């Protein structure tokens, strides 16, 4: 299996850093890039215009919450420096706010990488984040950060997930009842830091339960539930045996529920003339090449 869908859900770590006790205002999710939600473990069968939509909800014990709709769309295809690529548009629609859209062009080579999620940034080619005053997309070539070039261990850190395939199950959705395979993902990380004369050990644990089916395009996810906890233990430097036990500092939960999927949706950012498949683009190029150009008039 592959990546974490938590980019769609409540970011509990951020909640821990910035939340104020008693703060209960809903948090506004802005633009999201959904390239990490696609299933790269299976060869692509999607076409330009295929889309899938979820309702995303999340809440934390500190009072933060999310509630929005997320749409993933294959907006078009493109050949970039001889490499076959596809455009992914992500729509974030929150009630009472203008819609947010992000578009990223990915290389099809990512489907040949067994560690696609870990290496995802390597396969990004271009991105559109906004439209200019003329209504044309502001398009940028994606370049690796300078720090990436210095990180010798960039591709040596495996994703330490404890994966357990559970029983077959059914998920009831607006698209009908789907037969799924239930899969559990568990991950835990810990960080030790010092501040003044104290040492802190912070532990983050995440548990995801995914209902997986090939009937759903692009993501192959019919439903996903997430639980994230943050615990901490503190002691005086050099006196770890006298430190307090681990205490839960934050707990957040989130869910993704399939709303709909289909084919034929038009992109919001990618221009209409570029919402085409590679086959269409190549056919157009062949026709132009085969069409004879008009002969220039002879001079007398």
Name the residue ranges covered by the structural domains of the chain: 6-290
Is the whole model's pTM more than 0.85, yes or no?
no
Predicted local distance difference test score (pLDDT) of residue 13: 31
Residue 165: burial class (beta carbons within 10 Å; 0-12, 13-18, 19+): exposed
Q: Tell me the per-residue pLDDT of 135-161, one tens digit each, with 9 for 90 and over.
A: 788 889 988 766 665 665 555 555 566
Which DSSP category does 291 fall into?
Answer: S
Q: Tell me the per-residue pLDDT of 174-196, one tens digit each, with 9 for 90 and over.
A: 999 999 999 999 988 888 888 87
Q: What is the mean pLDDT of residues 254-265?
A: 96
Q: Give the pLDDT band of residue 263 (cuts 50, 70, 90).
A: very high
- Evaluate whether 221 touches 41 at the Cβ level (below 8 Å): no
Inform me whether the pLDDT recorded for 285 exceeds 70: yes
Which of 132-136, 169-173, 184-188 is predicted most confidently?
A: 169-173
Q: Which of 149, 105, 97 is nearest to 128 (CA)?
A: 105
Distance CA 245, CA 249 (A): 12
Structure-block tokens of residue 267: 């992109």
Predicted local distance difference test score (pLDDT) of residue 81: 93
Predicted local distance difference test score (pLDDT) of residue 104: 96
Distance CA 169, CA 89 (A): 30
Which DSSP category does 9 fall into?
Answer: S
Sign of the CA dihedral 42, 48, 50, 53? positive
Q: What is the mean pLDDT of residues 82-111?
A: 95
Q: Which residue has the tokens 């959705």?
A: 173
Inform me whether the pLDDT recorded for 244 exceeds 50: yes
Q: Which of 149, 141, 144 is nearest to 85 (CA)?
A: 141
Structure-block tokens of residue 282: 């190549």
Specify the higher pLDDT residue, 85 or 151: 85
Structure-block tokens of residue 149: 């070039």
Q: Give the pLDDT band of residue 107 (cuts 50, 70, 90).
A: very high
Chain centroid offset of residue 92 CA: 12
Ranges 21-25, 74-78, 154-158, 233-237: which has the least confidence: 21-25
- Evaluate whether 184 touches 169 at the Cβ level (below 8 Å): no
The mean pLDDT of the chain is 83
* Residues in contact with 49: Cβ distance below 8 Å, sequence separation at least 6, in sequence order: 73, 74, 263, 264, 265, 266, 275
Predicted local distance difference test score (pLDDT) of residue 297: 62
| Portion of the chain with pLDDT greater than 70, in percent | 82
Inform me whether the pLDDT recorded for 249 exceeds 90: no
Structure-block tokens of residue 215: 């009937």
Inform me whether the pLDDT recorded for 3 exceeds 50: no
Distance CA 266, CA 277 (A): 13
Which of 68-72, 240-244, 247-251, 288-292 is predicted most confidently?
A: 68-72
Predicted local distance difference test score (pLDDT) of residue 32: 87
Ranges 107-116, 124-133, 166-175: which has the least confidence: 124-133
């Amino acid at each position: 299996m592959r990546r974490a869908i938590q980019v769609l859900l409540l970011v509990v770590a951020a909640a821990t850093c910035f939340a104020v006790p008693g703060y209960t205002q809903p948090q506004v999710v802005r633009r999201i890039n959904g390239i990490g939600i696609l299933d790269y473990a299976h060869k692509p069968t999607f076409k330009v215009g295929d889309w899938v939509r979820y309702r995303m909800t999340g809440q934390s014990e500190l009072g933060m919450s999310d509630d929005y709709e997320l749409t993933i769309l294959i907006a078009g295809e493109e050949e970039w420096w001889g490499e076959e690529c596809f455009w992914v548009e992500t729509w974030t629609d929150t009630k009472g706010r203008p819609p947010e859209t992000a578009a990223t062009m990915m290389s099809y080579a990512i489907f040949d990488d067994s560690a696609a999620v870990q290496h995802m940034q390597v396969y990004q080619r271009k991105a559109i984040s906004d439209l200019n005053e003329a209504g044309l997309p502001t398009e940028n070539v994606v370049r690796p950060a300078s720090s990436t070039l210095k990180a010798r261990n960039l591709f040596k850190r495996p994703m330490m997930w404890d994966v357990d395939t559970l029983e077959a199950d059914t998920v009831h959705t607006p698209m009908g009842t789907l037969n799924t395979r239930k899969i559990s993902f568990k991950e835990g990380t810990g960080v030790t830091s010092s501040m003044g004369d104290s040492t802190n050990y912070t532990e983050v644990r995440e548990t995801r339960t995914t209902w997986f089916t090939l009937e759903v395009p692009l993501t192959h996810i019919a439903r996903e539930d997430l639980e994230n906890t943050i615990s901490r233990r503190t002691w005086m430097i050099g006196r770890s045996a006298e430190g307090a036990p681990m205490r839960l500092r934050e707990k957040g939960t989130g869910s993704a529920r399939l709303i709909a999927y289909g084919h034929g949706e038009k992109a919001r950012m990618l221009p209409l003339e570029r919402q085409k498949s590679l086959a269409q683009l190549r056919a157009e190029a062949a026709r132009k090449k085969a069409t004879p150009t008009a002969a220039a008039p002879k001079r007398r």
